[in-house]
């Protein structure tokens, strides 16, 4: 049964190696970009909801850079949520739920002029997939040699990443991301490349991060 477990499901095993990710350059870059956007929010006491918050590493960083913010973490995996608490995320700010099954009126999610930051797979996903996996393998293998992660957990992590990238059959282009936002009354204010991997052609983006802003009128 372990081979059929979805990586981000309630039984997913990402928690076993997730702390390793915080050490990797691509994760630090993504975190820095997220925090840059969070700092740029002009309104006081912003509401920040991190969907798929994992072990709470970015959530804890958001709390550090915006002490006035009300920051929540949503994740489907109870073990992930428990790890988030160990990183300083208060229990009453952790919601264990599958956000895909939550019913929300999107018109109520953002106020006019509100900001939505999104991290999503980009059009370079499949082209550079193997370089991303090789990169993870290199760093996870080093962690195994240091004795901080078991070979079994490292293998689980790599296999689950392969399945995630295989499942993402329609990665979006920059143009499609802009058009998607426009259809829902959002304007793409910033579109940045992140999670950069090294390829024979040089550093290439693996994910996009998009900063949308809701139009002033509904």
Q: What's the pLDDT tens digit per position in 74-132?
A: 888 787 777 788 888 898 998 888 777 776 666 666 777 777 777 777 777 778 888 88
Residue 15 maps to which CATH number? 3.40.50.150
Phi-psi category of residue 206: left, alpha or beta, with phi > 0 → left and psi -120 to 50 → alpha:
alpha
3-state secondary structure of 9: coil
Q: Is 7:163 a contact under the CB 8 Å cutoff?
A: yes
What pLDDT shows up at residue 4? 42
> What are the residue ranges in the chain where pLDDT is below 50?
1-5, 7-10, 218
**pTM for this prediction:** 0.69
Structural domain including 119 reads 2-214
What pLDDT shows up at residue 3? 41
Counting the structural domains of the chain, the total is: 1
How far is residue 23 from each of residues 57, 99, 136, 142, measured CA to CA in Å?
A: 11, 27, 11, 12
């Amino acid at each position: 049964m372990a081979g059929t477990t979805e990586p981000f499901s309630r039984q997913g095993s990402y928690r076993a190696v997730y702390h390793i990710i915080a050490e990797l350059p691509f994760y630090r870059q993504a975190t820095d970009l997220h925090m840059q956007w969070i700092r740029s929010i002009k309104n006081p006491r912003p509401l920040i909801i991190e969907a798929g918050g994992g072990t709470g590493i970015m959530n804890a960083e958001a709390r550090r850079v915006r002490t006035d913010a009300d920051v929540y973490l949503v994740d489907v995996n109870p073990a992930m949520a428990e790890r988030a608490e160990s990183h300083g995320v208060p229990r009453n700010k952790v919601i264990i739920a599958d956000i895909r099954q939550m019913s929300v009126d999107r018109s109520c999610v953002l106020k006019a002029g509100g900001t939505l930051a999104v991290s999503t797979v980009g059009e370079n996903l499949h082209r550079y997939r193997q370089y991303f996996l090789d990169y993870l393998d290199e760093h996870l293998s080093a962690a195994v040699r240091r004795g901080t992660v078991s070979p079994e957990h490292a293998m689980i992590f790599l296999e689950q990443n392969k399945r995630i990238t295989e499942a993402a059959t329609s990665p979006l282009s920059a143009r499609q991301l802009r058009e998607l936002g426009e259809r829902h009354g959002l304007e793409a204010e910033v579109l940045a490349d992140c999670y950069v991997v090294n390829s024979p052609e040089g550093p290439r983006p693996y994910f996009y991060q998009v900063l949308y802003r809701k139009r002033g009128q509904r």
